[in-house]
């Protein structure tokens, strides 16, 4: 397949929320108490909510910056591409990168919206619903052919979470962001079937995918306080392996044959070994652990329930059929530092060509699987001819995608300072602890 003819849908991108996002959706009685973006004297912008200050609001929003600026993340909106937080600019960036569709994870509330958990349950629910309404109506609603809508959970209340899933499913939302380890955030684990039952029921009834994103529990894979940052960056996907094992062996998988779970930003190269290992574990230990998958192997059950995704994963592409070609999606990870934007089509084409991937398998991984899993049809708004890499880039002619140094402050690349700031920011953004 010529790269110009590919259709790319990313199942993992990120939003840097704009300052006015609550204005049109939060009841007026709560507006004065809502989280707010504060511009500080040092030029940084921070989201502040009660006694919580979330540093580096643009955490990892480094698209379009030179790698020399990756060490210390941008700290102000004026240091990032407008496409990180303005939907019109985002679509132009998507066009320039040849990307048709995008599913965008939240930033400042945390992947599971834990920031909004307060002692006032009505206020907390209003915040989650306001965020979801903004995301569905303003961000995704501005360009329905371009965004797969995703909503935050009411993570502190399984009954209210179920209601919110059903409310959003009625308007075509079949994607829920969640934590990969609720017990790490102080909530019952996935193994507590009864506690989370209302949520599982709602997910299955509405055919909504539960998306567990790496780092969403706020835990960093750090081996030692003085370890180089390279260790943490290398190990970032490892917590998704733990989540995969946790969920695969959990009761909900057995109780809900139609439950769908996405391992977001987790990569794919590790999965064939993981599947071999779970089958071996089942074979050697199920007689005394009591595991029973109804006559199926754990690897078969994995393919019934789990969606995986990759950015640039040559090993995963080589072993794609051992993973399950219907269980793989592509992701761009815009505007994070792992993203290939704006050169994703070229880099992806190189990997696909080297591995002689046939056109039908390319289509499944680049857009068809995403459409099917999330019940999303961009072609009801745009033709396939308009959706290709070549057509989208033609529509973006003149849009500036040159690499630009945007940092407005001097900083060192010292590992200890970098680690301290990244650790604090990631815990706040992902776990809000």
Number of CB atoms found within 10 A of residue 148's CB: 26
Mean pLDDT confidence for 117-130 = 97
Place 183 in a pLDDT band, splitting at 50, 70 and 90. very high
Query: Per-residue pLDDT for 68 more than 90?
Result: no
Query: Per-residue pLDDT for 433 more than 60?
Result: no
Question: Which residues have CB under 8 Å from 291's CB, separation 6+?
Answer: 249, 282, 285
Mean pLDDT confidence for 257-268 = 96
**Rounded to the nearest 5°, which phi and psi values hold at 251?**
-65, -40
Angle, nearest 10°, between helix axes 271-289 and 238-248?
A: 40
Q: Burial letters for 22-38: b for 16+ Cβ neighbours within 10 Å, e otherwise?
A: beebbeeeeeeebbebe
Query: Per-residue pLDDT for 406 more than 90?
Result: no
Token reading at 419: 């680690």
Query: Does the N-terminal peptide bond of residue 335 adopt cis geometry, omega within 30 degrees of 0?
Result: yes
Mean pLDDT confidence for 326-351 = 95
Compute the mean pLDDT over every residue in the chain, rounded to the nearest whole number: 91
> What domains can you pick out in the chain, each with its CATH number?
9-431 (3.20.20.140)
In contact, 6 and 360? CB cutoff 8 Å:
no
Predicted local confidence at residue 416, as pLDDT: 45
Helices (H), 134-270: 141-142, 158-169, 193-206, 229-235, 238-248, 251-255
Predicted local confidence at residue 410, as pLDDT: 58
Predicted local confidence at residue 57, as pLDDT: 63
Predicted local confidence at residue 233, as pLDDT: 80
- Ranked by mean pLDDT, the top range of 220-224, 227-231, 354-358 is 354-358
Distance CA 430, CA 231 (A): 19
> pLDDT higher for 227 or 60?
227
Q: In the chain, what percentage of residues exceed pLDDT 90?
A: 79
Query: Per-residue pLDDT for 309 more than 50?
Result: yes
Mean pLDDT confidence for 90-97 = 98
Q: In the chain, what percentage of residues exceed pLDDT 70?
A: 91
Lowest mean pLDDT across 93-97, 225-229, 352-356: 225-229
Predicted local confidence at residue 55, as pLDDT: 77
Place 95 in a pLDDT band, splitting at 50, 70 and 90. very high
Query: In angstroms, what CA-CA distances link 386 with 5, 7, 47, 145, 394?
Result: 10, 10, 38, 11, 10
Predicted local confidence at residue 315, as pLDDT: 97
Query: Per-residue pLDDT for 386 more than 80?
Result: yes
Predicted local confidence at residue 59, as pLDDT: 56
Place 324 in a pLDDT band, splitting at 50, 70 and 90. very high
Distance CA 210, CA 198 (A): 14
Mean pLDDT confidence for 38-43 = 90
Query: Per-residue pLDDT for 164 more than 60?
Result: yes
Q: Burial letters for 407-418: b for 16+ Cβ neighbours within 10 Å, e otherwise?
A: beeeeeeeeeeb
> pLDDT higher for 387 or 220?
387
* Nearest residue to 179 via CA among 215, 135, 132: 215
Predicted local confidence at residue 237, as pLDDT: 76
Query: Per-residue pLDDT for 56 more than 80?
Result: no
Predicted local confidence at residue 408, as pLDDT: 67
Query: Per-residue pLDDT for 419 more than 50?
Result: no
Query: Per-residue pLDDT for 18 more than 90?
Result: yes
Query: Per-residue pLDDT for 236 more than 90?
Result: no
Predicted local confidence at residue 92, as pLDDT: 98
Predicted local confidence at residue 304, as pLDDT: 98
In contact, 134 and 180? CB cutoff 8 Å:
no
Query: Per-residue pLDDT for 310 more than 80?
Result: yes
Distance CA 180, CA 190 (A): 9
Predicted local confidence at residue 401, as pLDDT: 93
Token reading at 132: 């979801």
Question: Which residues have CB under 8 Å from 295's CB, separation 6+?
Answer: none
Token reading at 91: 């679509």
Mean pLDDT confidence for 279-296 = 96
């Amino acid at each position: 397949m010529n790269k110009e003819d590919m259709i790319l849908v990313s199942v993992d991108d990120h939003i840097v929320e704009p300052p006015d996002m609550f204005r049109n959706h939060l009841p007026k009685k709560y507006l004065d108490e809502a989280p707010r973006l504060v511009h500080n004297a040092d030029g940084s912008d921070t989201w502040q909510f009660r006694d919580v200050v979330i540093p580096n609001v643009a955490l990892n929003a480094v698209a379009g910056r030179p790698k020399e600026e990756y060490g210390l993340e941008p700290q102000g909106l004026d240091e990032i591409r407008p496409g990180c937080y303005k939907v019109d600019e985002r679509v132009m960036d998507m066009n320039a990168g040849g990307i048709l569709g995008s599913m965008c994870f939240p930033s400042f509330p945390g992947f599971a919206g834990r920031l909004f958990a307060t002692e006032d349950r009505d206020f907390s629910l209003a915040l989650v619903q306001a965020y979801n309404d903004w995301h569905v109506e303003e961000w995704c609603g501005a360009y329905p052919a371009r965004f797969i809508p995703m909503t935050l959970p009411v993570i502190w209340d399984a009954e209210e979470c179920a209601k919110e899933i059903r409310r959003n499913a009625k308007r075509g939302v079949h994607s829920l962001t969640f934590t990969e380890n609720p017990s790490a955030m102080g909530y019952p684990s996935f193994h507590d079937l009864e506690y989370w039952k209302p949520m599982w029921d709602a997910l299955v009834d509405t055919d909504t995918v539960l998306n567990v994103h790496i780092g969403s529990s706020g835990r960093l894979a750090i081996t030692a306080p003085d370890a180089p940052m390279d260790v943490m960056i290398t190990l970032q996907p490892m917590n998704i392996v733990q989540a995969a094992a946790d969920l695969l062996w959990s009761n909900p998988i057995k109780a809900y044959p139609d439950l769908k779970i996405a391992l977001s930003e987790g990569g794919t190269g590790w999965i064939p070994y993981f599947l071999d290992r779970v089958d071996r574990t089942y074979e050697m230990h199920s007689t005394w652990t009591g595991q029973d998958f109804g006559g199926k192997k754990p690897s078969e059950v994995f393919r019934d329930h789990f969606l995986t995704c990759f950015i640039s994963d040559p090993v995963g592409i080589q072993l794609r059929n051992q993973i399950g070609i219907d269980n793989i999606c592509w992701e761009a990870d815009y505007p994070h530092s792992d993203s290939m934007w704006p050169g994703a089509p070229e880099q992806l084409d190189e990997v696909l060509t080297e591995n002689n991937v046939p056109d039908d398998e390319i289509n499944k991984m680049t857009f068809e699987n995403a459409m099917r899993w999330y019940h999303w049809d961009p072609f009801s708004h745009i033709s396939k001819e308009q959706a290709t890499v070549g057509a989208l880039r033609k529509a973006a002619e003149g849009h500036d995608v040159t690499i630009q140094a945007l940092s407005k402050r001097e900083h060192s690349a010292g590992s200890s300072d970098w680690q301290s700031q990244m650790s604090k920011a990631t815990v706040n953004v992902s776990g809000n602890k």
